[in-house]
C-alpha cells in the first residue's frame, strides 16, 4: 500500500483496539490536535471503524459475497469548514507531515503519502458532482497499520462523513462507500474492491454485514459471540510483506483472466467448481478459491441467522486452507497461527484481509481463550518470530459522528 499515517506506538494502538471513541488514544486526540493546530474548536468529529472480515476473501472484486464486521478501533477526524477553498490536514500519526491542498486543482497523482487518502475522497466527491468548500481536518487513529484491518478505508470514510456533513450534503451510505473506494482505486492507485469502505460505513453493532458485491445490497446478520460463550480473537502476526500491492493486483488479474476464459462477466457467475476443469492449473486454483469461498460465505451467513455461530468454525478453517493452497495469499505466520489456535481448542480460524501479512481471526470458546493465546505465543517463540498481538474484538457500529 502507499504510505499511510504512521501508527501509534504498538501498545497504545492495541490497548484501545476494542475501545469506544472517547477513550484514550483516539478521539480526544483528534479534537485536541485540532485545537492545537488550528487555534479553535472543531465543528464536530467523526469516527470510522476498522473491520475484520469474518469470511469472504478476494470475493468482492469478483462480484461475490463478503461478511465483514466493524471493530471498536478506527480513525477519528475532527474538522471545521474554511472559506479559502483549501483542505488542510494534520495527523497525530504523521508528526509534522501536514498537508495543504487546493480543492480547485485536485487530480490523481497530485498528492502523495497519507494525505492522498483524504484528498482522494475530496476529488471523488467532486467527480460525483458534489459541491463543497474547504476544511481544516485533524486525524487520529488507534488502528495498527498493516494489520489487515483496513486503516486506509477507515481514514477515507471518516473524511467522507466529515466533508459531507460539514457542507450539508446528503449522500446515501452505499454511494459514499463507492466514492471512498474510488478515492482508493483512482486517486491513491490501489485496485481494491468495495468491502472495506462498505464495512466502515454500513456495519451495525452486534452484527456482521452480508454484502452482495454485485447488487450492492447489504444485510445485517447477527454476530454476538459473547452471548453464546465465544470470543472473536484477532491475532496480529506482525508480518508485513513488501510485495502486498503486486500480489493483490496479480490475483485480481488472474480472476479476470479466468472469468474471460470461461466466458462469464465475473467469477460470481460460476457456482460449481466442476465448471473450471478447462482452465490452466494456476487459474483453476485461483478461480476455485473464489467459487468455493462464495458458497462458504452464504453457508456462514445461514448458520449465523440460525444462531449456530460455533458451527461456522470449520467454514472459517476451510476458507484459510483455500487461501493458503488455492489462492496462495497466506503467509507462514498465519498458517502457524491457524494450526496452533485449532490445536488449542479454537472452533475455527483464518487469515483475514488481503493477505501476504496482517492478522488471523479465530473463533474461540471463551474458556479456551487463554490457552489459544498461549499456544500461538509459544509457537511464535519456537519459530523465533516477533511476538504476535492478540485482541478480543466485538462487532461494533459503523461510521458515525462522535462529537
Ligand atoms: C483488501 C481489499 C478488499 C478485499 C480484500 C480481500 O482488504 O481492500 O477490497 O479485496 O483485500 O478480500
- Angle between helical axes of 151-166 and 116-127 (0-180°, round to 10): 50
pLDDT in tens, 54-90: 999 999 999 999 999 999 999 999 999 999 999 999 9
pLDDT at residue 244, rounded to an integer: 62
pLDDT at residue 95, rounded to an integer: 75
The answer to whether the CB of 354 is under 6 A from ligand 1 is yes
pLDDT in tens, 319-371: 999 999 999 999 999 999 999 999 999 999 999 999 999 999 999 999 999 99
The answer to whether the CB of 195 is under 6 A from ligand 1 is yes
The answer to whether the CB of 313 is under 6 A from ligand 1 is no
For residue 80, report the distance from its CA to the centre of ligand 1, in Å: 31
- Per-residue pLDDT, averaged over 258-275, amounts to 98
The verdict on whether 196 is a catalytic residue reads yes
21 pLDDT exceeds 50? no
Whether 209 and 220 have beta carbons less than 8 Å apart is answered as: yes
pLDDT at residue 32, rounded to an integer: 96
The mean pLDDT value of the chain amounts to 92
Q: Band of the pLDDT at 204, cuts 50, 70, 90?
A: very high
pLDDT at residue 107, rounded to an integer: 96
Question: Rounded to an integer, what distance in angstroms lies between the CA atom of residue 328 and that of residue 58?
Answer: 11
pLDDT at residue 328, rounded to an integer: 98
Q: What share of the chain in percent tops pLDDT 70?
A: 92
- Per-residue pLDDT, averaged over 80-102, amounts to 93
pLDDT in tens, 129-153: 999 999 999 999 999 888 999 999 9
14 pLDDT exceeds 60? no
The answer to whether the CB of 192 is under 6 A from ligand 1 is yes
3 pLDDT exceeds 60? no
To test the pocket of ligand 1, the residue of 146, 183, 193 to mutate (highest count of ligand atoms within 8 Å of its CB) is 193
Kindly state the cell numbers that stand for 324.
Answer: 493458503
Question: Rounded to an integer, what distance in angstroms lies between the CA atom of residue 309 and that of residue 397?
Answer: 20
Q: Which residue has the higher pLDDT, 291 or 7?
A: 291
For residue 273, report the distance from its CA to the centre of ligand 1, in Å: 22
Q: Which of 196, 212, 224, 326 is catalytic?
A: 196
Q: Which residue has the higher pLDDT, 241 or 45?
A: 45
pLDDT at residue 97, rounded to an integer: 80
pLDDT in tens, 147-203: 999 999 999 999 999 999 999 999 999 999 999 999 999 999 999 999 999 999 999
Q: Band of the pLDDT at 395, cuts 50, 70, 90?
A: very high
Q: Band of the pLDDT at 240, cuts 50, 70, 90?
A: confident
For residue 332, report the distance from its CA to the centre of ligand 1, in Å: 20
- Angle between helical axes of 195-202 and 151-166 (0-180°, round to 10): 50
- Per-residue pLDDT, averaged over 210-237, amounts to 98
- Per-residue pLDDT, averaged over 43-63, amounts to 98
pLDDT at residue 284, rounded to an integer: 98
Atom of ligand 1 nearest to the CA of 59: 12
Amino acid at each position: 500500500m502507499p504510505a499511510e499515517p504512521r501508527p501509534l506506538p504498538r501498545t497504545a494502538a492495541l490497548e484501545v483496539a476494542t475501545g469506544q471513541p472517547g477513550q484514550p488514544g483516539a478521539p480526544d486526540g483528534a479534537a485536541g490536535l485540532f485545537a492545537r493546530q488550528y487555534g479553535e474548536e472543531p465543528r464536530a468529529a467523526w469516527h470510522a471503524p476498522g473491520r475484520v472480515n469474518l469470511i469472504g476473501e478476494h470475493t468482492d472484486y469478483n462480484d461475490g459475497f463478503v461478511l465483514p464486521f466493524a471493530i471498536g478501533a478506527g480513525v477519528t477526524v475532527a474538522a471545521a469548514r474554511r472559506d479559502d477553498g483549501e483542505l488542510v490536514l494534520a495527523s497525530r500519526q504523521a508528526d509534522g507531515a501536514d498537508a495543504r491542498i487546493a480543492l480547485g486543482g485536485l487530480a490523481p497523482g497530485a498528492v502523495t503519502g497519507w494525505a492522498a487518502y483524504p484528498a482522494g475522497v475530496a476529488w471523488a466527491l467532486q467527480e460525483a458532482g458534489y459541491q463543497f468548500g474547504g476544511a481544516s481536518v485533524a486525524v487520529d487513529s488507534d488502528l495498527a497499520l498493516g494489520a489487515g484491518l483496513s486503516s486506509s478505508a477507515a481514514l477515507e470514510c471518516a473524511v467522507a462523513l466529515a466533508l459531507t456533513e460539514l457542507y450539508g450534503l446528503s449522500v446515501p451510505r452505499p454511494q459514499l462507500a463507492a466514492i471512498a473506494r474510488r478515492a482508493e482505486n483512482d486517486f491513491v492507485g490501489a485496485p481494491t474492491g468495495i468491502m472495506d469502505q462498505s464495512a466502515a460505513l454500513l456495519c451495525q453493532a452486534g452484527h456482521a454485514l452480508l454484502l452482495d458485491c454485485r447488487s450492492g445490497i447489504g444485510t445485517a446478520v447477527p454476530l454476538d459471540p459473547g452471548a453464546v460463550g465465544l470470543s472473536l480473537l484477532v491475532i496480529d502476526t506482525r508480518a508485513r510483506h513488501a510485495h502486498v500491492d503486486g500480489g493483490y493486483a496479480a490475483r485480481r488479474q488472474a480472476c479476470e483472466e479466468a472469468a474471460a476464459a470461461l466466458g462469464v462477466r465475473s467469477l460470481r457467475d460460476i457456482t460449481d467448481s466442476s465448471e473450471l476443469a478447462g482452465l490452466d492449473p494456476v487459474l483453476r486454483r485461483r478461480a476455485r478459491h473464489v467459487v468455493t469461498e462464495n458458497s462458504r460465505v452464504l453457508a456462514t451467513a445461514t448458520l449465523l441467522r440460525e444462531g449456530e455461530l460455533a458451527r461456522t468454525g470449520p467454514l472459517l478453517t476451510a476458507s484459510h486452507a483455500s487461501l493458503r493452497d488455492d489462492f496462495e495469499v497466506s503467509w507462514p505466520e498465519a498458517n502457524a497461527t491457524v494450526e496452533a489456535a485449532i490445536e488449542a481448542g479454537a472452533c475455527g480460524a483464518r487469515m483475514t484481509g488481503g493477505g501476504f501479512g496482517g492478522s488471523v481471526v479465530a473463533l474461540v470458546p471463551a474458556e479456551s481463550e487463554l490457552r489459544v493465546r498461549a499456544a500461538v505465543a509459544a509457537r511464535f517463540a519456537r519459530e523465533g518470530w516477533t511476538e504476535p498481538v492478540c485482541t478480543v474484538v466485538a462487532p461494533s457500529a459503523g461510521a458515525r459522528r462522535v462529537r
